[in-house]
Amino acid sequence: MPATGTPMPWEQNAGPCVMAPPHLSEWARRAAAFLERQGMEDLIAFATSGSSGSPPKAVLFTRQALDICARGALEHLHAERGDWCCPLPVWHVGGAMIYLRAGLAGTAVHALEGKWNPRAYADLMKTSGARWSSLVPTQVVDLVNGEIQAPPGVRCIIVGGGALDMETGRRARALGWPVVQSYGMTESGSQLATALPDEPYHTDRLSILPHWEVAADSLCRARFQGEGKLCGRLLTQDNGEFLLEHVPSRDWWTTCDLVRLEGRFLTFLRRADRLVKILGELVDPDAVQEALQRRAPGAVVEATAHPRAGAELVACGPSMARLKEASREWNETAPGPQRIGSIMETPIPLTIMGKLDRTALRAMMREHPEKRERVDFPR
């Protein structure tokens, strides 16, 4: 039980526990009933749609596996002492693991109530004296944009759920927030590799946590093995029924992430399943997005079908003028297949966890083609 005295959901009732956001409560109820019928009463599952926007699925863990992940994170960060602050929902693996780490260390968790508010978060960190916390990149951006100073005594802020760019990371450090980039996924019980707070902020060469073995396959996709690994997945089929996928303990889990490994250090490169073919060449929209964001912070690049080229890149963001200028500058030097074909002024949709909602963005692009404006290619 966490040191706050608040039991985790799976400690309150017998049977399988499916952790899911409120809008998936009925789905979670059906998923738990299905697992119980399969005789899997002791499992804990976290609902996830995945980075590629697939239908809801549940990643399954034993209780022992989650404890191993929590202990590994404590050991990696030397976080055996000091309270935690939790601004994340407990149904998400990132929030749940905060409670597990604190429970194993015998320290307290101070939960941020209500909707995310950067000043309320900073105040809670100050009044509680919490030394440890986790945030998603958009939350760090809010702290930086608000020029909110960190209280003294904060030891480490783990950033997960996506990459925090170098400039924002450095600005957060300058405000006293000891942010560290992490790499992981639901299937790894949150973290697979995480930087350390006594290092300058960086997003490459992240230290692999002690309870994991990590390798790369012939395509450079990350694979991992360890006792904290998932034991299965519950997939949602098109007809709404469930399909149980077992993951044997001896098997390595292969991700869709391309990485570079140097001993016990991992650098995330890109998602393998995001590559698209344009004019016969493979193009990485994420690499183009990263370059465009240097000119237009917050811009998002998405690929859409094109009758002649096969696909084209579309830049989206809240400022048409900034998108137009940044896209034209990029197109002047970019190879033909990597050029931005059109731009679309739109607010960027986010998930309940503050991550980019690509499924919603693609739907907006399909439903409002009139909002897209062509970008002139350089001659």
pLDDT at 5: 54
Q: Which residues contact 218 (CB under 8 A, 6 or more apart)?
A: none
Residues paired with 158 in a beta bridge: 134, 180
pTM exceeding the 0.85 threshold for the entire prediction: no
Q: What residue ranges of the chain have pLDDT lower than 50?
A: 1-3, 51-53
Identify whether the C-beta of residue 133 lies closer than 8 Å to the C-beta of residue 158: yes
User: How far is the C-alpha of 177 from the C-alpha of 200, rounded, in Å?
Assistant: 12
* Residue 221 backbone class (left: φ over 0; alpha: ψ -120 to 50; beta: rest): beta
Q: In sequence order, what are the residues at sequence separation of 6 or more whose Cβ sits closer than 8 angstroms to the Cβ of residue 136?
A: 88, 94, 159, 160, 161, 162, 353, 354, 355
Q: At what angle do helices 63-77 and 93-105 cross, to 10 degrees?
A: 70
* CA diameter of the chain: 67
Q: Say how far residue 190 (Cα) sits from the centre of its chain.
A: 9
pLDDT the model gives residue 378: 57
Give pLDDT, residue 293: 87
Residues whose CB is less than 8 angstroms from the CB of residue 192 and which lie 6 or more positions away in sequence, other chains included: 183, 184, 185, 208, 209, 212, 214, 222, 224, 266
Give me the sign of the Cα torsion angle 270, 272, 273, 275: positive
Alpha carbons 36 and 42: distance in angstroms, whole number: 9
Question: Distance between CA 337 and CA 285 in Å, rounded?
Answer: 10
